[in-house]
Structure formats: C-alpha cells, structure tokens
Amino acid sequence: MFRNLVTSCLFKHPCNSTSSLATFHRLSGALKQQLAINDLPADCPQLPPCEFTPEEYKFLSEQQMMEIRKRYCGPTTMVNTYYKKPVSIRQGFMQWLWDLNGKRYLDFFSGVATVSVGHCHPRVNAAAKKQMERLWHTTNIYLHSPLHEYCEKLAALFPEPLKSVYLTNSGSEANDLAMLLARLYTGNFDIITFRGAYHGGSPHSVGLTRVGSYRFPVATGLGCHQTMCPDVYSGIWGGSHCRDCVVQADRKCSCTSGSCHAKDMYLEQLKDTLNTSTSKSVAGFFAEPIQGVGGVVQYPKGYLKEAFKMIRERGGVCIADEVQSGFGRTGKDIWAFKAHDVIPDIVTMAKGIANGFPMGAVITSRDIADTLTRALHFNTFGGNPIGCAAGSAVIDALLEDKLAQNSTEVGTYLLIGLAKLQSKFEIIGDVRGKGLLIGVEMVKDKITRKPLPNVEMDQIFEDCKDMGLLLGKGGVHGQTFRMKPPLCVTKADADFALAVFELALKRHEKRQ
C-alpha cells in the first residue's frame, strides 16, 4: 500500500518523479514522513509539474530552529512566522519552494515581492558565483568593473534626467537618502506621505511610514506629514472606472467622460494638507505608484500627475518609491510610475533589484545628486561587487526572458480569474493591481466594506498554505491578501492558485 501511495505522490508531483528505482528508494523515506505529516485531502488542487529535484536535507530540524529562535533571535522574529505552524524552507527554484519534509509550495509572495526573476535563477546564480570567486568586496572609493557596469545598465532603464545612481543596502536606506536629497536640494524641510504608506522601518524612514502597526511610541520622522490616501475602494470617494486596472471598484459613479470626482476630492485633501500642516514651501512628496504593504492600493487615474504639479509649485521634489513595484512587477513598463504619465525627481528601489541579495538604489538627476558633495557621503557596502553582479544578471534576465511582458500577461489573467471569484463570494470586496502586484481585499460584506476579522483571514491564509500556496497579507487592517509571485510564473500556476484560493473560501463558508 505504501508503495502505491509513494507512486501516486510521485505522479502528482512530477518534479519528484523518476524512472530510477534507486531514486525511488531514496525518496521513499522522506515521502513516508511527508505523507504522515502533510497528507492533503483528495479535493485539493494538484500542483503544476516541476522538473527540479531539491537536494537531500541534512541541516537543522524545525524543532532545533524554533529552540534557537526562542533563545537567541529577537522577539519580533518569533512574532513574524506568519502561520500557526511555521513553514520551514529548505530550498527554492524559480517559483517553487520546498520545506524540510520535501513538500513543494507555489510561492505567491516572493519573500515580500523580493524574488523578482525566480528563486536561484540560473543566470543570477552563475553571475554571483563567478564574481564571488573573483572579488567579494571592495568599497566604492576604488574603481571596480561590476559597480560601473551595473550603474550604466540601471540608468539605461530610466528616462532623462534620471541618470545619477547611488547604491544602498535596502529600501529603507534608499528612502532615508531620498529624504536627505530632497531637503538638501530644496532647502526646505516638510515632506508629505500618504496615510497607509510604508516606506521603511529605519529611524528616519519610519517617519514616512503611516501604518500604525509599524509605529513605536518614540519621536520619528520630524517634518513628515500625512495626507489622505486616494483609495477608490475603501476611501471616502471612489467610482467604477477610476483606476488603471482590468478590474474596477464596485462603486457607483456618475462622472462624465474625462472627469473623475474621486481624483478631484483627494487632490483637495492634499491641498488642504499643504495649506494647514506645512510651511509655504515643502521639501518633497513620497508616493509608491501602487501601495504595497498598504494593500496594493491604486489611485485615481491622473491623481499622481496633478499631485506632482502641486508639490513642485511649493518648491518640492517628487519621489517615487518603486521598492515593491519596480523591475517589471507591474508589467511591461518596468517602472510603475510610467503608467501615471510622470517623471519623478527621485526614484528609490530595492527588493527585486538583485533577486534577494541585500541591495537598494536611488536614482535622480545630476543637479539633485550634486547636493551630496556638500559633505562626505559614504556607504561601506553600497555597490558591493557580488550585489552588482547579481543586479546586472537580474536586468539581463528581465529583458532577455521578457519577464515584464509575462508579468502583464499572467497578471491580467490572474486578475480576471480573481474577479470571477469576487462575483461568487460575499467576502471578496475588491480585486485590484497591475501585472503581478495584486491585492484581494476581504470584507465582512460588500455593503459595509468592513474588514474581514483577522481570525478569519488567518484561517483562509493557513488553508492556502496547507494546500501548497504561499500568500502575503497587507492593508491598514491586515485585510488584504497580497499576491506577488516571481515574474516567471505561468498561467498554469495562476490556475492552481485560483483553484486553491477558491477551495479555501469554500471551506471558510462552511465554518461560518
């Protein structure tokens, strides 16, 4: 009987299948443990095929890791395991992850939108390994080829005048630097951000962040002011054709062609913030083209363009935070700001920049960049040779594999599929996003649009994980499922994700 079960499991999971009897015996022990611990109900959707076989696992057990966490890792590390039963990851390849028992998962969160071209992408791996064997580290006070090759390649993806690159270690650090640049260049101090925005957790960038769960009771971000987020679904104003998405908010709209009442009203809120909360002149305005942690919030079409104009009239510069939305995640434009018909003064980026290697960047114009010459600015690890080699390979993979186009095609397919589920389930309030930056906002009911309670969100979240689908969560109230898979995912992967999500929602209905 066990041999039949193993054979069945190998058939259902082609990435583990083989005609070799020796391999069969090697896998049987691990599969026996997997069947005992992770046996799934018969109605679970089957994972798409995968030709990759993970290495045999010989490292710490899950119990050992949890004991080390409790004794030596910071308390926030203990909190942020996400699941009731943590997922212990052993290996990844492209859109797939494997746990210690050999169970395979479709990764629809990418380490928080960080694995851009795929886990352990062969091209990126080869570039990093080659550079690692040549030179691990030298600072940017010396000339070394990987730094300069990468800066030239990155700048080529941007329009004029955005051609001056500073390399950092993270998105938080990039946003810290952008704040400094804005204040130095303008000679002003006040900076505007959106409510619900997330721009980092460092002592300075957390001042830009306006999600309460990230705020500590200490003074941070002096001079940072918030304005109302132009959320056309759960905000005060919104309509049925406000946003740049194949799926629109389910709200009534009486706007005439070429007009948008929601856009105008949210701009009035920004004007009010400028008139009441800041001095006559401002340093800058931070905005993600599409909010990430805030729940994949999209603004009314035309809002950002007019907001940029308003800020510039006050002497400020406009900063696009592309930490989550950049590098093809929103589709073929590469950068999400392009869909708003704007050219920012400063762009910050990280996460997908090097497929998981800790790296970030700021790109701006030469005149803004030159303000840093007023004093000494230095970053020990910014421009690390291995990071630059990995980042360069990411750009190559993005362009040569046409992953940004794939993001548009598969993302649109997934959005349309989620919209069909929205029509079936009362608790799906909104489906939105662009490319493979997608949010599904969950509600108690579609009339009140009140957030689905966290305990119910967690149950659906756990069910998806148990069936082999890893999602993210976000939103001011944690009410939005975030789908941000590696850009190499296929429509077959999307079909699996849709089937798992639908089954999880059906199980939720039965529990109520």
| Domains in the chain: boundaries | 40-113+403-511
Better pLDDT: 453 or 16: 453
Q: What is the pLDDT of residue 478?
A: 92
- Residue 39: what pLDDT? 52
pLDDT digits 0-9 by tens, 137-180: 998 888 999 999 999 999 999 999 999 999 999 999 999 999 99
Bridge partners of 167, per DSSP, are 361
d(CA 121, CA 296): 26
Check whether 270 has a pLDDT greater than 90.
Answer: yes
* 268/165 Cα distance (integer angstroms): 34
Side-by-side strand order, sheet with 346-349: 164-168, 360-364, 346-349, 317-321, 284-287, 191-194, 224-227
Q: Which amino acid is at 343?
A: I
Q: How confident is the model at residue 6 (pLDDT cuts 50, 70, 90)?
A: very low
Of 197 and 217, the structure prediction assigns the larger pLDDT to 197
Which pLDDT does position 25 carry in this prediction? 37
Tokens of 242: 């406000």
Integer Cα distance of 389 and 384 in angstroms:
9
The encoded tokens of residue 448 equal: 């009140």
Q: Give residues with Cβ within 8 angstroms of 364, minimum separation 6.
A: 162, 164, 178, 181, 345, 346, 347
Q: State CA 489 to chain mean position distance.
A: 15
Mean pLDDT, rounded, for 84-113: 94
Q: Which residue has better confidence, 457 or 33?
A: 457
**Res 26: pLDDT:** 40
User: Is the pLDDT score of 55 beyond 70?
Assistant: yes
Q: How far is CA 323 from CA 53, 291, 508, in A?
A: 32, 10, 33
Residue 81's pLDDT is 64
Over residues 296-310, the pLDDT tens digits come to 999 999 999 999 999
Question: What number of H helices and E strands is found in the chain?
Answer: 15, 15
Alpha-carbon span 187 to 367, nearest angstrom: 14
Helix, strand, coil percent values for the chain (each to nearest 5): 40, 15, 45
Handedness of CA 37, 39, 45, 49 (dihedral sign): positive
**45 band by pLDDT with thresholds 50, 70 and 90:** very high
The pLDDT score that the predictor gives to residue 135 is 95
Predicted pLDDT of residue 77 = 57
pLDDT score of 442 more than 90: yes
pLDDT of residue 40: 64
| DSSP conformation letters of 73-136 | S-HHHHHTT-SSS---EEEEEBTEEEETT--EEEESSHHHHT--S-BT-HHHHHHHHHHHTT-S
DSSP H/E element including 437: strand 437-442
Q: Which of 44-48, 80-84, 164-168, 280-284 is predicted least confidently? A: 80-84
Calculate the CA 236 to chain-centre distance.
Answer: 26
Residue range 468-496: mean pLDDT, rounded = 96
Phi, psi (degrees; rounded to nearest 5) at 479: -100, 5
Mean pLDDT of the 263-270 span:
97
- 156-160, 216-220, 467-471: the lowest-pLDDT one: 216-220
Distance from C-alpha of 134 to C-alpha of 16, rounded to nearest angstrom = 35
* Cβ-based neighbours of 293, under 8 Å, separated by 6 or more: 198, 211, 324, 474
User: CA nearest 182: which of 301, 312, 22?
Assistant: 312
What pLDDT, on the 0 to 100 scale, is given for residue 41? 66
The mean pLDDT value for 185-208 works out to 94
Residue 17 has pLDDT above 80, yes or no: no
Query: What pLDDT was estimated at residue 30?
Result: 42
Report the pLDDT value the prediction gives residue 36, as an integer from 0 to 100. 35
Q: According to the model, what pLDDT value does residue 337 have?
A: 98
- In this prediction, residue 211 has a pLDDT band, given cuts at 50, 70 and 90, of confident
Between 264 and 20, whose confidence is greater? 264
CA–CA distance, 326 with 335 (Å, rounded to integer): 5
The string over 404-443, giving b where at least 16 C-beta atoms fall within 10 Å of a residue's C-beta and e elsewhere, is: bebbbbbbbbbbebbbeebeebebbbbbbbbbbbbbbbbb
Domain 40-113+403-511 is classified in which CATH homologous superfamily? Aspartate Aminotransferase, domain 1 (3.90.1150.10)
Higher-pLDDT residue of 38, 502: 502
What is residue 136's predicted lDDT score, i.e. its pLDDT? 94
- CA torsion sign for 46, 52, 56, 62 is negative
